[in-house]
Chains A and B, each alone.
Chain A
Amino acid sequence: MSHERKLLKDITDCIVNFEREKVKEKANEALGAGVEPFKIINSMSEGMHIVGQKYVDKEYFVSDLMMAAVTMKAGIDTLLPYLKVERSQVVGTVVIGTVKGDIHDIGKNLVSTFLTSAGFQVIDLGVDIPAGTFINEVKKNSADILAMSALLTMTKSYMKVVIDELKATGIREKVKVMVGGAPVTQKFALEIGADAYAPDAIAAVEKAKELLGRYH
């Protein structure tokens, strides 16, 4: 195995094993050895992919995904000064947030990270987001997708408020809407007029890609 390939494999392993300090070290080492930053990002994404598979296989759980995500973030932060992402390289732009009145963000954060690792530009608004903020951010960033999350049966109805507001401001046709969260179902997504529903972060990436496939 060449030195470069070994380094990249180590970086993948760091993500899978949540080694935050080591991933920074290895990323710097790889940069020093002249490995191109996008290759390093790819091997980190490969790690996220393995983590996602382990989650599907019920070997990993949400806390593990959270740890993989912070490890990935540490790696990306190390590379940031060396990254020049062309707009054309971005798969799509996603504005994401947990709806007003809801404080839950684990799932939403994971969707953010997984979308980022799949090449999306993600604007994460955080939690407790009112309709107005969602709409302004969608406009400001010419977002392709608006993703909303809710964990409470009570707050998920606010997703419809946001969608209605999108219609009222005349930009509903310009953006695809994805929804998710424990009480959200495919049926509910259809009822409120969303374009897609995903049960978890791994599925969300697939759905987002699908949406843009139809869209472009």
Chain B
Amino acid sequence: MSCSRFKRLFCFSAIDQIKAGTPCVEESKNFILWYKIKTVGDWLKMSKEMSSRKRILTALDRGEPDRVPVHDLVEYVMRKNFGRGFYSLDLKSYVSYHVNLCQEIGVDGINVGLGPVDTAKFYFPDINLDWRITEVGNDYVIVRDALGINKKFYDDLPGAGRIMGPPIKSVEDLDRLKRSDLLASIDRPERKKQIEIVLDKARPLGLAIMGHVNGPCKLAAELRGLQAWVEDMYTNPELARSTMRFLTEFIKALAKNLIQAGADVVSIYDGPGSSSVIAPRMYKKYAFPCYKEIIQTIRMEGAKAILHHCGNSNPILETMADTGADGIEPIDPLGGMDMADAKRRIGHRVCLKGNVNTVTLTEGTPKEVEEEATQAILKGAPGGGFILASGNNIEAVMPVENIKAMVVAAKKYGVYPIKL
């Protein structure tokens, strides 16, 4: 039964009960009835406008929320605003600023990351669990993360850092990493505490807590170097498999930690898994089993799983749905993807998230973004199971007004039932 149908049914029976004016013979019954009416009344009011969290979770269940939810990782916008100061920001101010930014833009979820790469390590600078600044230049810093990956971040170009020499050069290096206490070190109470600070601020606002981890392809490409990892898959399957197996355990541990601390959703960001990088047959052979396992863990822990391959995922869309993920993103138009096509092919199996062109978000006007977002809504939202987002991710150069324009479109044209 679709969510909206359920809602209508429930509303009718509740209203019928109230109209019937059940005679109140006893005080206790009276109280129960009043209690019911009160909650039903509240519920009716609430049902007009869902909380952000409910909106996202309903969409991930392939249902129809009150309106199309909007979510994207907005953290790079912050990084731009802070510049170098970002690295010395204390956790509480960071969280307040992040929550305010989500509110200002109007997204329905806030991202929390754990462990060691990319944005994740910047979430908790004052507690400094996994990463160290190893070099400070005039306009950059180099940071070393838990996996031993060094990354260079330019002040004026906030975004994913440049990898400085992949740490795994041989089977022996991998064995050393396997023998280290890395996996055991993930489950530390400090981590959960860090996330709880985010939860304290974001929960009362009704925001969905969107955890994210990097996927096995992205991490393997960083650990081994992209070229070496690709060559492994063709000529050294054993090393490719054992690297990705190890990373799968690592990612599962991170995801568990996130969920136990309160994440509603865990997204697996894995750009190099897309057919813009690896051939679909390599995807099926190496990446697919990893995703299946990670997603099973996420779902068993009680959260929803989203799988992200930016670029061209056309040849692997059905395989992505086979992983058991609740949501698939970002149906990247730059990779030649079309929301209507994705909806037709896998919309009955998964929630789709996307797909406003990142070039429009960067260079277009708010009006153009709104138009494109409306198109995405019209193609992806009918029948439910849709979250509006960018066609890849929000970057620092995108004007905040453009990001807000997606929310404007969702409010104007994304109210269910969708009028075509």
B159 at the interface (CB under 8 A from A): yes
Query: How many contacting A-B pairs (Cβ < 8 A)?
Result: 79
A131 at the interface (CB under 8 A from B): no
B138 at the interface (CB under 8 A from A): no
Say whether, besides A58-B315, A153-B358, A183-B359, A63 and B277 are in contact (CB < 8 Å): yes
Q: Which residues of A contact B13 (CB under 8 A)?
A: none
- Per a CB cutoff under 8 Å, which of B157, B159, B279 touches A64? B279
Is B359 a contact of A153 with CB atoms below 8 Å?
Answer: yes
B227 at the interface (CB under 8 A from A): yes
Per-position binary interface string of chain B over residues 267-307, scored 1 when its CB falls under 8 Å from any chain A CB and 0 otherwise: 00000000111111010000000000000000000000000
Q: Which residues of A contact B156 (CB under 8 A)?
A: 101
Q: Which residues of A contact B227 (CB under 8 A)?
A: 66, 70, 109
Say whether, besides A62-B277, A63-B282, A70-B231, A154 and B157 are in contact (CB < 8 Å): yes
A212 at the interface (CB under 8 A from B): no
Say whether, besides A153-B397, A154-B396, A154-B397, A103 and B282 are in contact (CB < 8 Å): no
Say whether, besides A20-B235, A67-B230, A183-B358, A153 and B398 are in contact (CB < 8 Å): yes
Chain A residues numbered 22-77 whose CB sits less than 8 Å from any CB in chain B = 58, 60-64, 66-67, 70
Is A67 a contact of B160 with CB atoms below 8 Å?
Answer: no
Distance of A58 from chain B, by nearest CB (Å): 7
B234 at the interface (CB under 8 A from A): yes
Q: Which residues of A contact B154 (CB under 8 A)?
A: 100-101
- Per a CB cutoff under 8 Å, which of B157, B230, B395 touches A63? B230
Is A61 a contact of B311 with CB atoms below 8 Å?
Answer: no
The A interface is mostly helix, strand or loop, or mixed, namely loop
Question: B230, B233, B315, B395 — which one has the most chain A CB atoms within 10 A of its CB?
Answer: B230
Chain B residues numbered 302-329 whose CB sits less than 8 Å from any CB in chain A = 311, 315
Q: Which residues of A contact B162 (CB under 8 A)?
A: 101-103, 127-128
Distance of A50 from chain B, by nearest CB (Å): 16
Q: How far is the CA of A100 from the CA of B156 in the complex (A)?
A: 11
A152 at the interface (CB under 8 A from B): yes
B226 at the interface (CB under 8 A from A): yes
Q: Which residues of A contact B234 (CB under 8 A)?
A: 18, 63, 67
Q: Which residues of B contact A106 (CB under 8 A)?
A: 226, 277
Q: Which residues of B contact A61 (CB under 8 A)?
A: 275-280, 315
A78 at the interface (CB under 8 A from B): no
Tell me the nearest residue of chain B to A157, going by C-beta: B397
Is B358 a contact of A63 with CB atoms below 8 Å?
Answer: no
Say whether, besides A66-B227, A106-B226, A155-B157, A182 and B279 are in contact (CB < 8 Å): no
Q: How far is the CA of A211 from the CA of B375 in the complex (A)?
A: 38
Q: Which residues of B contact A103 (CB under 8 A)?
A: 160-163
Tell me the nearest residue of chain B to A152, going by C-beta: B159
Is B163 a contact of A153 with CB atoms below 8 Å?
Answer: no
Chain B residues numbered 229-284 whose CB sits less than 8 Å from any CB in chain A = 230-231, 233-235, 275-280, 282
Instruction: List 5 tightest A-B contacts by C-beta distance, closest first.
Output: A101-B157, A61-B279, A103-B162, A63-B278, A153-B362
Please name 16 pairs of A and B residues whose Cβ atoms are closer than 8 Å in the assembled complex, sorted by A.
A61-B277, A61-B279, A62-B279, A63-B278, A66-B230, A101-B156, A102-B162, A103-B160, A103-B163, A152-B160, A154-B395, A154-B396, A154-B397, A182-B335, A185-B359, A188-B359
